[in-house]
Amino acid sequence: MKDYSTFRVGGPAKALVTVFTVSELGSLTGFLKSENLPYMILGNGSNILVSDQGYEGVAIRLGGDFEKVAIQGNSVQAGAGVLLTKLALTAQQEALSGIEFAYGIPGTLGGAMVMNAGAYGGEMKDVTVSVDVLDETGSVRTLTAAEMAFGYRDSVIKHRSLIVLSAMLKLKSGDRDAIMSVMQEHMNARRSKQPLEYPSAGSTFKRPEGYFAGKLIQDAGLSGKSIGGAQVSEKHCGFVINRDGATAKDIDELMNYVKAQVKRTSGVELEPEVIKIGEF
């Protein structure tokens, strides 16, 4: 799974299957449920930490129809497998504004809906009209933005066995050059402030209310702290990076150490943004 995770760690899954249509996805998940086999939807692997022992189930990737984008007026219908950077560029080319914040986020639209991904003052909830999902019974349902119950790095998808299929977004007309300028500003800011040269899962911890995780970690004296090949980035303490051949165990132990030290020095309980897959 290290080849399918931005942390570049993780042992093998039992199988990796790519589906290209909603029908194929429904048939596959129905079969796996009938055989009592676990499965996970694998987006761009940008928010997961897979165990060194791997995953005792089937990893499902979404291709084909799930990578399509259709635009009509200010409305954008996009599949769950569409990369956010591609989506932002497609909107820019159509002179549509509102999703510039997603440019450079290394995830898919499906993952962004699960986590209500956001950056630079914008979140998916700001532009989402509705989301098509495959529900627990294998039926396709459309959830309104209100039914998605978006919160900070949270949505109803995280709390139910729902699979994001596609989403309808509402953007607004803008100027192509102005939109691109904003996107480039965001990308430049990422490059200057974030350790993009190393494998990571982006921001490792959620932002505690009233605080910044990176500042708390820095104030705890943890800049550059390493366990094995994992390190708290010296460039941005909010990132745990795979600096030099880290294992998932290294990363997990460093995350736990950071949590404990921040709790000891500030009294604040950090909550991981990264989702752990497999046994730790």
**Catalytic residue numbers, as ranges:** 153, 203, 273
Structure tokens at 211: 């605080």
* Tokens matching residue 194: 């974030």
Which residues on neighbouring strands pair with residue 242, listed in sequence order? 230
State the Cα angle at 189 between 184 and 193, rounded to 5°. 155
- Residue 116 CA to residue 219 CA, distance in Å, equals 28
Cβ–Cβ under 8 Å, residues 150 and 114: no
Contact 253, 225 (CB under 8 A): no
Of 111, 105, 106, 102, which Cα lies nearest the Cα of 80? Answer: 111
DSSP state for residue 158 in the 8-state scheme: G
| Other Cβ atoms closer than 10 A to 33 | 14
SS3 category, 4 = helix
- Beta-carbon count within 10 A of 3 CB: 8
- Buried/exposed 162-199: b ≥16 CB within 10 Å, e otherwise: bbbbbbbbbbeebeeeebbebbeebeeebeeebbbebb
128 strand-pairing partners: 169
